[in-house]
A and B are shown apart, each in its own frame.
Chain A
Amino acid sequence: MKDVLEKKTVKVIKVNVDKCIGCRACEVACSAFHATPQYSSTNPARARIRVIMDEFNDIYVPIYAGEYAKAECNGKNVYTVDGKTYDECTFCRASCPSRDYFKEPDSGLPLKCDMCLDEPPLEEPLCVQVCRSDSLTYEEMEEEEMEEEEKPGQLEIGLESLVNKHGSKRVMESLARMKEERE
């Protein structure tokens, strides 16, 4: 069940794959913006936006990095839309073990799009600025904020259900293990 806290206006990068000409200027600009010192180097492999391209199937999908996912999900994403098959997790924004997108080439650390709000913040992400074909646009949209902060009892309910399903012993054990991992 969703609990609406309040409306917040978020700015999002809208992606129009029909308009993409596959020039990858977004990758260049992104990697330059996030280089230290800023703009001192370019490297698409470091970009937080990547154009997933399969020119032989007319696939041109700019996709910007989302949250890091520890584990790989079960099976890759393969979608067929309008007769075109989008492979290699095309629409997934996560940096995860099962793909080499959105990871620092040398450190392997996950990359995530920050909408160029990093110092100095830009009024519009750089990828959008350099995308002259309007495949990327930066638009406001209303989104109701999910209530994520402590709801009374939520924790207990969650634990309860885990214990019921897997038995308290297993829960205790793995909790202990996770504790260690975190320390």
Chain B
Amino acid sequence: MRYAETGYNLEIDLTKGDIEKVMTDPRDMELYLGGQGTAAKMLWDRVPPEVEPFSEENLLIFSTGLLHATPAPSATRSSVDTFSAQTGLYSHSLFGGFWGPELKHAGYDKIIFRGKSPKLVYLWIHNDKVEIRDASHLAGKGSLETAELLKEELKNPQVQVAAIGLAGENRVYMSSIEHYNSSASRGVGHIMGDKRLKAIAIRGTKDVYVAKPAELHEICIRQYKDIYDKGPSVMTHSHDETWHTDVFAWGHARERRKGFWNKELEEEWKSVTDSVFVRFNGCFNCPIDCHASISLPGQRPYFYKCYGKLTYAMAAYKDVKFNYNMLAVTQEHGLDSFSTPQVLAFACELYEAGILTDKDLPGFPKDSGERFFYLVEKIVRRDGVGDALANGVYWAARQIGNGAEEYDHNTTKKFEQVPLKLGALNYPYFLMYATGEKMNITQIEGSFPQNPIPDKEKRKLFIEKWEAAPERFKKYYMEWEPRTQPSIEAAVNIVDWNETMHYIDDSVGVCAFVSAFKGQFNKSSYHINNYPKFISFATGLDIDQDKLWETARRNRTLIRAINNRRGLRRKDEKPPEDHWKQRIPEIEAKLIDEYYRFKGWNEDGIPTKKELDKLSLGYVAEDLMARGILTDNEGASSKEASAEKKE
């Protein structure tokens, strides 16, 4: 009897049209839990570094989290894992909604795609009945439109659909996989498009079992209340945008506009929001409503994610109304609302600089807003210069050339970062930007506060209520004075904790917004102290805090190894040059050294054999050594290996 997980994966070969239901090894759950963890294992085992992202051998894996479809609230995040054509590295994105739990009730933990379909298809899963069905009639259709059409075509309003839009079909690097009010936005949609897979539609009516029913129920009921009381994402609910408009940079991650926000604006933007707002909605079995249905006059309604509210507006120096209009278009096309606005702003900068001309952009409008709409249509069709821009800032800059590289100033490992430009170097953030495997800071940061509370008494109160934090972090926090940096040792621990929570969330499928991301506000309902209960009651695993922490470390290290195998080295681990005004090279170097040491990696950022064995990743060590990436005297890194690595 398997608890929490179904014990089956669905293996789909799109080239041959093969469909297999494969039983999984229970031991993997103990080692990697599920979700991202077990997906990483699979990518390691089955996708050697030679495999190009756009090739039949690349895998696209949709994983439910370990706690999906158990009564544990807010376990909704499915994880999509593959190799990205943009970074050439491991790529990982998450989406909530209803899709993951539905997959589990259909009887599967994962869907693993390999190969490429000769023509556009979609996958229809109804419990044991699985079909690959023609999708030529859906070509070019919007992502939400597709969902609606499929529900009708399949005569089943309860079907849950994840689909790509035109952007995905055309392998745009910023393309997303959209599902209802959530999307896997960061660097996976283009692979789904490359496999000619338009959508996955699921209906499941099977039971999912848990090991310790009564105990689990008891803590879940309390958890519902706790999550509700700690409240939803303020980004959807609050009308005060001071923080975003002041702190984040406008345009192409260029300018900060302190004091931009005022009461009049708040009134004005609020009335705009009220005019298009339909209702708040939430994800499966989650009591908070971080999302909203938006309905623009004369257009199909769409559902926005907490974060997408201002990214286009700020990139285009426009207002919230523009943002709503932009989202209506980009969500149907299936575009990431973090990187897309930056690519658009980047293109506008190139035009201003004369690097892109009217020849490249015939009939390019004057107004920045109209320019965005213009560019989006070019990009999703890979039309003209849109073809270059569709590959993201890093590659576009190089394809366009003649000085465009200068304007690629906000990417890390070829990937667009959130538009932040700050003053003093921040130790933990430096490490997170430099070393994060997830590329996206919001998926790395979160448990430890970004700033200390100035008043010591208040800080004391804060840590007294801080049930999420292991003791040492309370100490670090108490010692941390405003306008100072935590000690290097503290910084390393902080990063480790932040990461650890995300790696747990992503393997059990819990939303970071009730866990890893909320710790800094003292509002995480799931944390290292109660997670073991939820996991062991649900799965029957005998797991405690230390074992859980170690599991997270295992997953994190495995993913690091996957990237090392694809050439990632220390030299790649740097935040955007201008992220902080003042940089301190020697401290930065020290931070990296300490962090690697703490992680059990060598100075080039490659896990040592010792560490790998300790984490029962011996097979990884063997492979890395066989490939000469690790040497027997595992201290030093393999010069050849890093030399090999060329752009």
Question: Touching in the complex, A and B, CB below 8 A?
Answer: yes
Q: Is B210 an interface residue (CB 8 A)?
A: yes
Q: CB-CB < 8 A to A130: which residues of B?
A: 221, 224, 287
CB distance from B223 to the nearest CB of A (A): 10
B295 close to chain A: CB less than 8 A: yes
Return B142 CB to nearest CB of chain A, in Å: 11
Chain A residues with CB under 8 A of B157: 52-54, 88
Answer yes or no: B71 CB below 8 A from chain A CBs: yes
In the complex, A24 has a CB within 8 A of chain B:
yes
Stretch of B51-59, B201-209, B374-382, B597-605 that contacts chain A: B201-209
Q: Complex Cα distance A32/B221, Å?
A: 12
Q: Quick one: closest A residue to B216, CB to CB?
A: A39
In the complex, what distance in Å separates the CA atom of A38 from the CA atom of B210? 11
Q: Are B213 and A37 in contact (CB under 8 A)?
A: yes
For residue A25, CB closer than 8 A to chain B, the reply is yes
Please provide the chain B residues from 212 to 243 with a CB less than 8 Å away from any CB of chain A in the complex. 213-214, 216-217, 221, 224-225, 228
State the Cβ distance, B227 to closest chain A Cβ, in Å: 8
Q: Is B285 an interface residue (CB 8 A)?
A: yes
Number of B residues with CB within 8 Å of any CB on chain A: 44
Give the complex CA separation of A16 and B191 in angstroms.
42
Contacts of B287 in A (CB 8 A): 23, 25, 130-133
CB neighbors of A among B163-218 (8 A): 180-181, 204-210, 213-214, 216-217
Interface assignment of A111: CB less than 8 Å from any CB of chain B:
no
A21/B293 in contact, CB under 8 A = no
Closest residue of chain A to B208 (Cβ to Cβ) is: A42
Chain A residues, Cβ within 8 Å of B460: none
Is there a chain A Cβ closer than 8 Å to B278's Cβ? Answer: yes
- Flag whether A80 is at the interface (Cβ < 8 A): no
Q: In the complex, A32 Cα to B284 Cα: how many Å? A: 15
Q: Which residues of B contact A40 (CB under 8 A)?
A: 209-210, 213
The yes or no answer to A93 lying at the interface (CB within 8 A) is no
0/1 string, A41-58, CB within 8 A of B gives 1: 111111000001111101
Residue B624 lies at the interface, judged by CB distance under 8 Å to chain A: no
Cβ-based interface call for B567 (8 A)? no
Q: Shortest distance in angstroms between B336's beta carbon and chain A's nearest beta carbon? A: 21
Looking at the assembled complex, report how far the CB atom of A83 sits from the nearest CB atom of chain B, in whole angstroms: 12
Q: Are B207 and A42 in contact (CB under 8 A)?
A: yes
Contact between chains at A39 and B293 (CB < 8 Å): no
Give, as a whole number of angstroms, the nearest-CB distance from A128 to chain B.
Answer: 12
Query: Once the chains bind, are B213 and A39 in contact (CB under 8 Å)?
Result: yes
The complex places the Cα of A132 from the Cα of B280 at a distance, in Å, of: 13
Asked if B105 contacts A45 (CB within 8 A), the reply is yes
Q: Point out the residues of chain B lying under 8 angstroms from A52, CB to CB.
A: 157
* A25, B300: Cα distance in complex, Å: 27
Nearest-neighbour CB distance to chain B for A71, whole angstroms, equals: 22
Q: Which residue of chain B is the closest to A38 with respect to CB atoms? A: B213
- In the complex, are the beta carbons of A43 and B281 less than 8 A apart? no
Complex Cα distance A55/B210, Å? 30
- Measured in the bound complex, the distance between the Cα atoms of B98 and A131 in whole Å is 17
Residues A46 and B282 in contact, CB atoms below 8 Å apart: no
Q: What interface size band does chain A fall in?
A: 20 to 34
Give the chain B neighbours of A46 by CB distance below 8 A. 205, 207
**Min distance, Cβ B483 to any Cβ of chain A, angstroms:** 40
Q: Which residues of B contact A58 (CB under 8 A)?
A: 278-279, 293, 295, 301
- Is B525's beta carbon under 8 Å from chain A? no
Neighbouring A residues of B181 by C-beta, 8 Å = 55
Contact B148–A44 (Cβ < 8 Å): no
State whether A132 touches B71 (Cβ < 8 A).
no
Residues of B within 8 A of A28 (CB): 71, 284-285
Complex interface residues of chain B between 292 and 337 (CB less than 8 A to chain A): 293, 295, 300-301, 303
When chains A and B are docked, how far (Å) is the Cα of A56 from the Cα of B208? 29
The listed residue (A56, A60, A105) touching B300 by CB distance below 8 A is A56
Q: State the Cβ distance, B153 to closest chain A Cβ, in Å.
A: 15
B535 within 8 A of A: no
Determine the distance from Cα of A46 to Cα of B209 in the docked complex, in whole angstroms: 13
**Cross-chain contact B279 with A60 (CB below 8 angstroms):** yes
**Docked-complex contact B224 and A25, CB < 8 angstroms:** yes
Q: Contact at A129–B221, with CB atoms within 8 Å? A: yes
Nearest CB in chain A: distance from B463 CB, A: 28
A69 smallest CB distance to B (angstroms): 21
Interface residues of B in 8-29 (CB under 8 A from A): none
Give chain B residues whose Cβ lies under 8 Å from the Cβ of A21.
279-282, 289
Q: Is residue B397 within 8 Å, beta carbon to beta carbon, of the partner chain?
A: no
Task: Assess whether B70 is interfacial by the CB under 8 Å rule.
Answer: yes
Known interface pairs A43-B208, A58-B279, A58-B301; A132-B224 also in contact (CB < 8 Å): yes
Contacts of A96 in B (CB 8 A): none
Residue numbers in B under 8 Å from A37 (CB-CB):
213
- Does any Cβ of A come within 8 Å of B73's Cβ? yes
The interface residues of chain A lying within 8 Å CB-to-CB of B60 are none
Min CB–CB distance A20 → chain B (angstroms) = 8
Residues of B within 8 A of A55 (CB): 180-181, 281, 293, 301, 303
Q: Is the CB of A25 within 8 A of B206?
A: no
Assembled-state Cα–Cα distance A74/B87 (Å): 59
- 9 inter-chain pairs at a CB distance below 8 angstroms, sorted by A residue, are A22-B282, A24-B285, A35-B207, A38-B214, A40-B210, A40-B213, A43-B105, A43-B205, A130-B221
Q: Beyond the given A29-B71, A132-B225, A132-B228, please list 7 additional residue pairs across the A-B interface where CB-CB is below 8 A.
A: A37-B213, A42-B208, A43-B205, A45-B204, A46-B207, A129-B221, A130-B221
Q: Which 5 A-B pairs have the closest CB atoms?
A: A45-B205, A39-B213, A132-B287, A132-B228, A41-B207
